[in-house]
Amino acid sequence: MIKLITLLTRKVGLTREAFIEHYETHHRKIGEKYLGGYAAKYQRRYIRVAESANHAPLELPFDVLMEIWFPDQAAMDAAMQLIASDTAQAEIVADEERLFERDQTRSYVVEEYESDMPIPKRLA
């Protein structure tokens, strides 16, 4: 599996609620349209400061962590080629300009490692 993560910042003046609403009812569908048949998973994780995380900054540089999982490099390459087409870019960019501060968008390919953790005695 290959995971592509993208950190996205909502447009200045757009409330968190309006941002999530538009992303989940409209922008997500554009993503699904172009990722369908290529991606194994398309997920959005909306970020907020945890009240108990006293080490966290009061303002976050990003509002959502988007994850796209591809079964292999060939699927990712094919999806990126489709997304780069003039037709896809016209649709994607038009909506992104309403939703995101596009100059702050950052994307990365992630290599993951997991640890098997024992069940805590208090939960067993």
Nearest of 111, 119, 99, 108 to residue 12 by alpha carbon = 99
- Containing structural domain, residue 6: 2-49+57-110
| 96 inside domain | yes
Residue 121 lies in a domain: no
Residue 79 lies in a domain: yes
pLDDT value for 120: 82
Do β-strands 64-70 and 2-8 pair in parallel, antiparallel, or remain unpaired? antiparallel
Question: Mind spelling out the 3-state secondary structure of 43-105?
Answer: EEEECCCCCCCCCCCCCCCCCEEEEEEECCHHHHHHHHHHHCCHHHHHHHHHHHHHHECHHHC
Q: What is the CATH number of the domain that holds 92?
A: 3.30.70.100
C-alpha to C-alpha distance for 44 and 117, rounded to whole angstroms: 25
What pLDDT is stored for residue 48 in this prediction? 85
pLDDT attached to residue 47: 92
Q: Which residues contact 27 (CB under 8 A, 6 or more apart)?
A: 95, 96, 99
Structure tokens at 67: 């994850």
For residue 118, is it within any domain? no
The confidence score (pLDDT) of residue 55 equals: 66
pLDDT at 54: 64
Domain membership of residue 83 (yes or no) is: yes
Domain presence at residue 35 = yes
Structural domains in the chain (count): 1
CA distance 40 to 26: 20
Residue 115 is assigned to a structural domain of this protein: no
Averaged pLDDT in 10-residue chunks for the chain of 124 residues: 97 97 98 98 91 68 96 97 98 98 97 89 70
Q: Is residue 116 part of a domain?
A: no
| Confidence at residue 34, expressed as pLDDT on a 0 to 100 scale | 98
